[in-house]
Amino acid sequence: MLLRDIAHSRAGDKGDISNISVIAYDLKDYALLEKHLTTERVKAHFAGVVQGDVVRYELPHLGALNFVMQHALGGGVTRSLALDAHGKSLSGAMLSITLPERK
């Protein structure tokens, strides 16, 4: 199952930091997100893009996880030579992470 099957995302960027929230469509799927969407998994998914730390903030009452990724935008949106590498593109890429099927 793809992450996009059970969640949507919102993103923002400032300088060289990308901020991506993943929000479960249904609160019952939050536990699955919390278990499988780790900082290590997100950093591995963005290998070659995210050069710094990834910090995860948990918002269980909202059914959301927020990831702050340092050194993720090639020096910043206005400095990067990458095509459309800012937050919104990364949030779409985040939703392609594969999760185990619900039980």
Whether the per-residue pLDDT at 99 is higher than 90: the answer is no
Whether the per-residue pLDDT at 102 is higher than 90: the answer is no
Q: Are strands 17-24 and 64-69 parallel, antiparallel or unpaired?
A: antiparallel
Average pLDDT over residues 32-39: 96
What structural domains and CATH numbers belong to the chain?
3-94 (3.30.70)
Contact call for residues 8 and 95 (beta carbons, < 8 A): yes
Quote the mean pLDDT of the chain.
Answer: 86
- The more confident residue out of 100 and 74 is 100
Contact call for residues 37 and 2 (beta carbons, < 8 A): no
Q: Quick one: tokens of 17? A: 């930091």
pLDDT tens, residue by residue, 58-78 = 999 999 999 999 988 777 666
Quote helix, strand, coil % in the chain, to nearest 5. 25, 30, 45
Q: Quick one: tokens of 12? A: 């923002």
